[in-house]
A = this chain, B = another copy of it.
């Protein structure tokens, strides 16, 4: 039996226990730079590579997935945070859960919203929509295994 996950808007409040929503509106400080020709939205996420890691920058080119989408697995990175920011205003889907046994939450990211998963947060791998989408990834490089993956006992379905 497959259970249905209804997409909800990606808001900082709803996502707070999993990490941060990366978008200008979530800046802790905002100020003009470059003689007023630009505006900086500062310090949007807790980028955390752990005590023995360093921050690594990656680029992912993701093929779009179709809805309904079956959520069969989750992963987590216990040793560091992991942020994804689409390189443009693409829509994509963020699936997170408090544990592999809990009901996941499915968020629709829009308008270029990114997310930063806090260390250890269970999440589904990238789900691009609509078109091939490039993402910048800010995560961790360092010693030790940093990816746990689990197949779920229950398949969930993200509804269109």
Interface residues of A (CB under 8 A from B): 22-24, 27, 33-35, 37-45, 47, 49, 54-63, 65, 83, 85-89, 112, 116, 125-126, 128, 134, 136-138, 141
Contact = CB atoms under 8 A, between A and B. Distances in A.
B43 A56 contact: yes
Contacts of A136: 85, 136
14 contacts: A22-B57, A33-B125, A34-B62, A34-B125, A34-B126, A37-B65, A38-B128, A40-B58, A41-B59, A42-B56, A47-B54, A47-B138, A87-B88, A138-B138
A140 to B, nearest CB: 10
A85 B23 CA distance: 15
Contact of A38 (B34, B57, B63): B63
Nearest to A132: B38
A43 B37 CA distance: 31
6 smallest A-B Cβ distances: which pairs? A38-B62, A34-B125, A88-B88, A41-B59, A47-B55, A55-B55
A74 B105 CA distance: 47
Contacts of A59: 22-24, 27, 40-41, 44
A83 B59 CA distance: 14
Nearest to A112: B87
